[in-house]
Structure 1
Amino acid sequence: MNLPRAFLPVLLVVLWAGNWPASQLALTEIPPITFRLVTLWGGTIVMIVFCLMDKENLFAPMKEWPLLLLLAFLNVGLFNILSAFSIAVLEGGRAALIAFTMPVWVVFIQLLLGERYQLHQLIALTSGIFGITLIIYSIIIDPGFSAVASGLMAVAALSWATGSVMLARSHLSVNGKALTMWMLLISGLLTIFFLPIQSQPLFSFPVSLRGWLGLAYSTLIGMAVCQGLWFYLLTQIETSRAAIILLAIPPVGTLLSWCVLGAALNTLDALALLLLLISALLSARFGKQVKNHTSTLKPKKIQ
């Protein structure tokens, strides 16, 4: 079944926002690197099944492998490793707030590369920057503030932003579900090298039903489906516009964390989230539907 283009960002925002409380449920009982290994390898298996069902070409030319490795490391590997440690310390909603500073990094990187923005994009960006500034202030004054966890998530956001810009400007022949599969597989292999920094055992049992449900959601939805939808969205609209739309995820993610986990939400947070939501709505309402001309990624239909 094909998804209407206008529905795609909404679906991505809701599903990815749900991944943050789900991740925290799992990470309260499962060590961070173990969690990422399971979600990355599980997501890889899911995408392989999808590719085989659609008879999609899985092979990338050897000359593209250096770029593919770098893109996988930035877009998926480094982001997921750093964010797992951060989510384990921070509340799911607050972790989402820091992670989705990513759109602002995208815009700054694009500006350095000579990108020009229209008035509505600048208004959306300004609203987003004000919202993020309030978030940073709220997090810093919080009694449970962790500079290390917050810093890890900020670096994760920068890594994701850099990888997204590079992916949008890349010249890869592999695309669609096959691209997602390779990103997850490569990142799963890279994550193995981070096992020595995990102090807990690789597997820690028993895990409660809530923990298993969080792990299942993060693997099937957060990793496989959402990563695939994100890479597909980058083939449909401008990179900066796609990134700013993601600013709707922190409000939804925080709301879900509040409902599921009872995460705290103060007035300052609410105002910041409102500004982020305005920014995302402006970006979703206006802008070109055509992908940046520098990319050769081919759009594919979502089955």
Structure 2
Amino acid sequence: MSDRAAHAQVFLVALLWGLNWLASKFALADISPWFFRTLTFGVGAGNLMLASRWWGTSMAIAKGMPRLHLAVAGILNIGGFGIFSAFALLETSVARTSICAYTMPIWTTLLARIVLEERLTRARTGALVTGTSGLAVLLWPLFAEGIPIGALYALGAAVSWSAGTVYLKWSGVQGHPLAIAAWQLVAGTCAVTIGFLVDGADFGNRMDALSAAGLIYGIFLGTALAYLLWFNLVGRLSASAAAMGTLMVPVVGVLASIGFGERPDEADLVGFALIFVASLLALWPAGSDRKVTTRNQARAGSGT
């Protein structure tokens, strides 16, 4: 694959994941979050398993603690992120959910400093300061109307995703990136399926055409195809391409939500701008950190 083709796929994945925020909002109007995530993650995991057989990729992970570590990472990276973001979409706008959820690089910077003792470079310090300022601008007006439960769910998704990323790096699990991604999706699927059953196996309401379209998109395009394309790119992406691909997702999500009638207010836009800059700083480490960042992004994924 040429560099031009690889970069085109990065843009395509960002588009698929960005539009998936809006598609998920539509689907969740008539289907329970637990059932929605069980379907999307389950099909996504199966798709990666089939791809691994087609490509002849080893799915082997060492027995014992490595498998346990991968399961924990999957519950955080996939299950926690997915279910928190789904509930966020029920409580607040697509734009606000995607903005808050993609504070993930900021929380990763903080957790990596605490858990992994990674040093805070000027860029990372700037990311923390700018990101905190962006969240303050975004959330402060919301607290005047009460506890912004939707935004807090979205922040929970970001923290869960970042915790899974840092945990995976700390554990040092070895394996092909496709295998690491697929088994995390399996773990995440198991977690949300348990939640679905405990919640009473609620399948949601009778679906209208828009909700059905959102569900179909979320299963086959936003999860199955997007993950397949993303992990087909692993090893071909530079750190800068991976970073920009990740940052494009909330941009697409916000623009798509505006196109379908949502109107972010001034606080949303200013907060989004500050958080975008903070994420750019956090995702753009210097020197040898770049390869690690690319690998962690590939393992953790970036979809909704």
Shorter-chain TM band: 0.7 to 0.9
Matches of residues 105-116 of structure 1 in structure 2 within 5 Å? 105-112=107-114, 113-116=116-119
SS of match in other structure, 1:116: coil
- 1:291 paired residue number: 291
Q: 1:163 and 1:233 mapped to 2: Cα distance?
A: 19
Tell me, what secondary structure is at the counterpart of 1:62? coil
Displacement of 1:153: 2.7
**What are the superposed Cα offsets for residues 82-124 of structure 1, whole Å, 9 maximum, x if unpaired?**
2222212222222112222222211111121321233334334
| Structure 1, 12-21 or 92-101: larger mean CA deviation | 12-21
> In the superposition, relative to structure 1, how do residues 81 and 298 fare at CA in structure 2: closer, same or farther (>3 Å)?
closer
Q: Is the 8 A contact 1:176 1:232 kept in 2?
A: no
Name the residue aligned to 2:302.
none
CA contact (8 A) 1:103 1:246 kept: no
Secondary structure of the corresponding residue to residue 291 of structure 2: coil
Q: TM-score, normalised by structure 1?
A: 0.80
Question: What secondary structure is seen at the aligned counterpart in 2 of 1:115?
Answer: coil
2:169 & 2:236 partners in 1: Cα distance? 8
TM superposition outliers: structure 1 runs of 4+ over 4 Å:
2-12, 225-228, 230-239, 241-248, 280-286, 295-299
Percent of pairs identical after alignment?
23
Question: With structure 2 as the length reference, what TM-score do the two structures score?
Answer: 0.80
The residue that corresponds to 1:165 in the other structure is 166
1:95-244 aligned at under 5 Å gives the runs 95-112=97-114, 113-141=116-144, 143=145, 147-196=148-197, 198=199, 201-202=202-203, 204-205=205-206, 207-227=207-227, 229=230
The alpha carbon displacement at 1:76 in A equals 0.6
Give the partner amino acid of 2:153.
Answer: L
Q: Take 1:250 and 1:127, find their aligned partners in 2: how far apart are those partners?
A: 17
Alpha-carbon distance between aligned partners in 1 of 2:186 and 2:111, rounded to the nearest angstrom = 27
What stretches of structure 1 of length at least 5 have no aligned partner? Answer: none
TM-superposition CA deviations, 1:1-26 (whole Å, max 9, x none)? 46667667655543322221111011
State whether residues 9 and 233 of structure 1, in contact with CA within 8 Å, keep that contact through their aligned partners in structure 2.
no
Larger mean Cα displacement after TM superposition, 64-73 or 243-252: 243-252
1:32 corresponds to:
33
Distance in structure 2 (CA, Å) of the matches to 1:222 and 1:76: 14
The residue identity in structure 2 corresponding to 1:67 is: H
Following the alignment from structure 1 to structure 2, what is the Cα–Cα distance between the partners of residues 230 and 131? 31
**In the aligned structure 2, how far is the partner of 1:68 from the partner of 1:176?**
12
CA contact (8 A) 2:134 2:270 kept: yes
- Preserved CA contact (<8 Å) 1:234 1:242: no
Query: 5+ unaligned residues in a row in structure 2: which ranges?
Result: 300-304
Contact 1:77 1:188 in 2 (8 A): yes
Q: Distance in 2 between matches of 1:11 and 1:130?
A: 31
Structure 1 residues 278 and 159: CA distance shift in structure 2, 3 A: closer
Give the distance between the partners of 1:166 and 1:231, measured in 2 at CA: 24
User: Structure 1 residues 256 and 292, CA, compared in 2 at 3 Å: closer, same or farther?
Assistant: same
Offset of residue 38 of structure 1: 0.7
Q: Are residues 272 and 153 of structure 1, via their aligned partners in 2, closer, same or farther at CA, if it must alter by over 3 Å?
A: closer
Specify the alignment match of 2:50 in structure 1. 49
Mapped to 1, the partners of 2:107 and 2:258 lie a distance apart of 27
1:100 and 1:157 in contact (8 A); partners too: yes
| 1:254-291 residue CA offsets vs partner (Å, 9 max, x unmatched) | 2211113x112112222222223333455667734742
Partner of 2:87: 85
Paired AA for residue 126 in structure 1: V
Equivalent residue for 1:278? 277
Distance 1:136 1:195 in 2: 30
Structure 2 counterpart of 1:16, one-letter code: W
Q: 1:251 touches 1:273 (CA, 8 Å); kept in 2?
A: no
Give me the whole-angstrom Cα distance separating, in 2, the residues matched to 1:198 and 1:168. Answer: 32
Cα RMSD over matched residues? Answer: 3.5
Distance in 2 (CA, whole Å) between partners of 1:250 and 1:158 is: 16
Contact 1:26-1:215 within 8 A present in 2 as well: yes
8 Å CA contact 2:44, 2:227 repeated in 1: no
CA distance in structure 2 between the aligned counterparts of 1:163 and 1:235, rounded to whole angstroms:
23
Per the alignment, in what secondary structure is the counterpart of residue 35 of structure 2? helix
Question: Is 1:69 aligned with 2:37?
Answer: no
1:250 is matched with 250
Cα 1:166/1:243, change in 2 over 3 Å: farther
Range 219-228 or range 26-35, more displaced? 219-228
Task: Work out whether residues 74 and 162 of structure 1, in 8 Å CA contact, stay in contact via their aligned partners in 2.
Answer: yes
